[in-house]
């Protein structure tokens, strides 16, 4: 028993490495007697003693040790009585555990009853306010697993940790130990551009589902751009019907109905992910201009656009009709969106003179506020009067001139918050290296290590950590046309951005992260993700 608990302890021997070591491990596992006929010792031996060092994002505190818990056909997931939300988390957990374990775990809507040793408990604890919105505690031992949280979102995040403690193949044993965890930043986003290439709700759900395993909690949808308008708007139907009918390269494009958008919002909500819709303005609007002649200063609608240039289109700032359009669109989008933010773009408005840009963005921000929402915009808004409480999404580079960064810092002093998506770190459409297909490289190559090795709390001079809402990994899709393309570009870099958003600064270490990441390889494969096997990661 001493030997066995030593194996599980934090300083236990390292896992055998190399093909021989792995073979020995496999033989040992195969020789183990079934847990039902064995003592806690055998249970412990079957658990991976390093499992707690392999969680992404790294939890705030872990203490591995003691016997593990073996899931079997009798295991029940018991959730706090009277909480449909907790039960919902239980159902999602049961579904997620099924492929790896082969078990169809039963979910019970009460955590009373049962023996002390029959499963997984998801407990809401009204006294655990110190855990905040998303914090949780997890304890696994020979009798079961208990996850406790103040809020259902915390139970959901804890359930993602539990998923990662169950081996992808082999005996479904949760290693013994405890976790006490909560995020560093409240905003841990992923953006997908469905305008340059159209992606269906099903494709985006799949993407979101993979990201939620890594505790991402915001899904930013880039819904409109020069090449396509992707969301139905009842008061301006041609936006989607005409403006949605193409994409980069001239493909058929497409758009989402309101029902489809609502369905995605619901799906995200079940995973405690907030949807942030973006209507990009006053530039990046060719699809809108092509759909309605009256939105053009000269009253002539341009042709639809299928190239990849940026910065050539602008709404007509002088026309009152433009602001009716903005108000109608933002009202309809707000009605569909329970989340706090409306993103109004504001990037690369090179076809809009600065004074016009400031006029336009002022009115667009008022239209957001009128809907009771908070403005989110690309950081160029910093120089044009962001309203108080606005969040600016920084997409500059490490080498962006200090004067431009200083504008962001200045806006922060006046009350703005910041979401960080530095293009040479967090843009998932940048190539890993010269050989990557697809991808762009205007911000440089972004290898996995570069995407990970920066500190969001200290990234912009003059922007204190308290002003940083968090981080966002952005997947632009000029060159990304399929799920396979998206998988290759987003995975594994999106996991690194997710860790930067969640894990305490003290846990951020490339040397430790590359091992944690390597362990996610089989997990991603099991989820059908065709990730990029970055050479700097020792993939299993
Ligand atoms: C820029 C540009 C987008 C491009 C993207 C490609 C922002 C905020 N505006 O990022 O239109 O798609 O680069 O990397």
What residue segments make up the domains of the chain, in order of their start? 28-181, 187-526
The residues, any chain, with a CB within 8 Å of residue 460's CB and separated by 6 or more, are: 394, 405, 408, 409, 418, 420
The lowest-confidence range among 39-48, 414-423, 508-517 is 39-48
Which ligand 1 atom is nearest residue 427's CA? 14
Ligand 1 center to residue 476 CA distance, Å? Answer: 7
Q: How confident is the model at residue 48 (pLDDT cuts 50, 70, 90)?
A: low
Confidence of residue 30 (pLDDT cuts 50, 70, 90): very low
The Cα angle at residue 539 between residues 535 and 540, in degrees rounded to 5: 160
pTM comes to: 0.91
The mean per-residue pLDDT over the stretch 269-295 comes to 98
* Closest ligand 1 atom number to CA of residue 193: 12
Residue 49's pLDDT is 58
Ligand 1 first shell, C-beta below 6 A: 310, 347-348, 378, 395, 427, 429, 440, 476, 478
Find the range with the poorest average confidence among 7-11, 112-116, 176-180: 7-11
Q: Which of 49-58, 283-292, 486-495 has the lowest mean pLDDT?
A: 49-58
Nearest residue to 379 via CA among 493, 265, 459: 459
Contacts of 10 (CB under 8 A, 6+ apart): 63, 64, 65
Residue found by looking up tokens 């915390």 in the block: 154
If one residue of 348, 378, 400, 446 were mutated to test the ligand 1 pocket, choosing by the most ligand atoms within 8 A of its CB, it would be 348
CATH 3.30.379.10 fits 28-181, yes or no: yes
Specify which residues 122 forms β-bridges with.
Answer: 79, 147
Ligand 1 atom nearest residue 430's Cα: 14
Q: Whose CA is nearest to atom 4 of ligand 1?
A: 476
Nearest protein Cα to ligand 1, atom 10: 395
pLDDT of 50: 83
- Residues labelled catalytic: 348
Whole-number Å distance between alpha carbons of 107 and 138: 18
* Nearest protein Cα to ligand 1, atom 8: 347
Pocket test for ligand 1, best of 287, 310, 428, 481 (most atoms within 8 A of CB): 310
- Would the CA dihedral through 104, 203, 447, 277 be positive or negative? negative
Ligand 1 atom at minimal distance to the Cα of residue 421: 8
Among 347, 404, 443, 473, the mutation site with the greatest number of ligand 1 atoms within 8 A of its Cβ is 347
- Label the pairing between strands 224-225 and 228-229: antiparallel
Residue with the smallest CA separation from ligand 1 atom 13 is: 476
Q: How far is the CA of 203 from the centre of ligand 1 (A)?
A: 21
Please give the distance, rounded to the nearest whole angstrom, from the Cα atom of residue 254 to the centre of ligand 1: 21
Could you read off the pLDDT of 106-165 as tens digits, one per residue?
A: 999 988 766 656 799 999 999 999 999 999 999 999 999 999 999 999 999 999 999 999
Q: Which string of DSSP letters, residue by residue, matches 171-184?
A: S-EEPSEEEEE--S
Query: Is the separation of the CB atoms in 178 and 188 below 8 Å?
Result: no
3-state SS of 271-297?
CCCEEEEEEEECCCCHHHHHHCHHHCC
Residue predicted with more confidence, 24 or 89: 89
Q: Mean pLDDT over all residues of the chain?
A: 91
| Structural fold of domain 187-526 | TIM Barrel (3.20.20)
């Amino acid at each position: 028993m001493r030997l066995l608990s030593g194996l599980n302890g934090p300083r236990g021997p390292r896992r055998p490495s190399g093909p021989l070591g792995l073979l020995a491990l496999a033989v040992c596992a195969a020789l183990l007697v079934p847990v039902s006929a064995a003592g806690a010792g055998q249970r412990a031996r079957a658990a991976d003693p390093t499992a707690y060092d392999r969680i992404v994002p790294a939890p705030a505190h872990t203490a591995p040790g003691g016997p593990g818990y073996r899931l079997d056909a009798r295991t029940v997931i018991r959730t706090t009585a009277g909480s449909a939300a907790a039960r919902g988390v239980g159902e999602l957990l049961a579904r997620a555990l099924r492929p790896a374990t082969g078990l169809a775990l039963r979910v019970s809507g009460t955590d009373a009853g049962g023996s002390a040793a029959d499963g997984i408990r998801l407990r809401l604890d009204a006294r655990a306010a110190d855990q905040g919105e998303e914090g949780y505690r997890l304890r696994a031992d020979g009798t079961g697993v208990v996850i406790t949280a103040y809020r259902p979102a915390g139970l959901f995040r804890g359930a993602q940790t539990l998923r990662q403690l169950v081996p992808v193949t082999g005996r479904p044993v949760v290693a013994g130990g405890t976790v006490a965890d909560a995020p560093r930043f409240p905003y841990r986003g992923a953006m997908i551009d469905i305008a340059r290439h159209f992606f269906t709700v099903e494709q985006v759900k799949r993407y979101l589902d993979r990201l939620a395993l890594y505790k991402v909690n915001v899904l930013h949808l880039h819904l409109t751009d020069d090449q396509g308008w992707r969301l139905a708007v009842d008061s301006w139907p041609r936006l989607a019907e005409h403006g949605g009918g193409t994409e980069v390269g001239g493909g058929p494009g497409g758009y989402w109905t309101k029902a489809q958008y609502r369905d995605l919002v619901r799906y995200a909500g079940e995973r405690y992910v907030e949807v942030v819709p973006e209507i990009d303005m006053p530039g990046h609007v060719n699809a809108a201009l092509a759909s309605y002649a009256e939105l053009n200063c000269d009253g002539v609608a341009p042709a639809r656009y299928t190239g990849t240039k940026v910065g050539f289109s602008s709404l007509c700032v002088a026309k009152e009709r433009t602001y009716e359009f903005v108000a109608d669109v933002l009202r309809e989008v707000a009605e569909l969106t329970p989340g706090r933010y409306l993103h109004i773009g504001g990037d690369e408005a090179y076809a809009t003179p600065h004074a016009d840009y400031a006029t336009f963005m002022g009115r667009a921000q008022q239209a957001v506020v009128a809907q009771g929402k908070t403005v989110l915009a690309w950081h160029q808004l910093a120089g044009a009067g962001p309203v108080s409480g606005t969040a600016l999404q920084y997409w500059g580079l490490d080498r962006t001139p200090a004067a431009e960064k200083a504008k962001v810092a200045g806006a922060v002093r006046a009350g703005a918050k910041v979401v960080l998506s530095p293009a040479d770190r967090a843009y998932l459409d940048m190539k890993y290296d010269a050989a990557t297909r697809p991808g762009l490289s205007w911000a440089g190559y972004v290898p996995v290590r570069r995407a990970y090795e920066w500190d969001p709390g200290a990234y912009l001079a003059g922007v204190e950590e308290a002003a940083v809402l968090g981080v966002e990994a952005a997947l632009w899709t000029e060159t990304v046309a399929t799920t396979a393309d998206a998988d290759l570009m987003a995975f594994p870099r999106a996991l690194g951005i997710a860790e930067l958003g969640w894990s305490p600064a003290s846990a951020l270490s490339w040397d430790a992260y590359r091992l944690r990441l390597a362990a996610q390889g089989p997990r991603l494969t099991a989820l059908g993700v065709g990730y990029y096997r970055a050479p700097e990661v020792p993939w299993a």
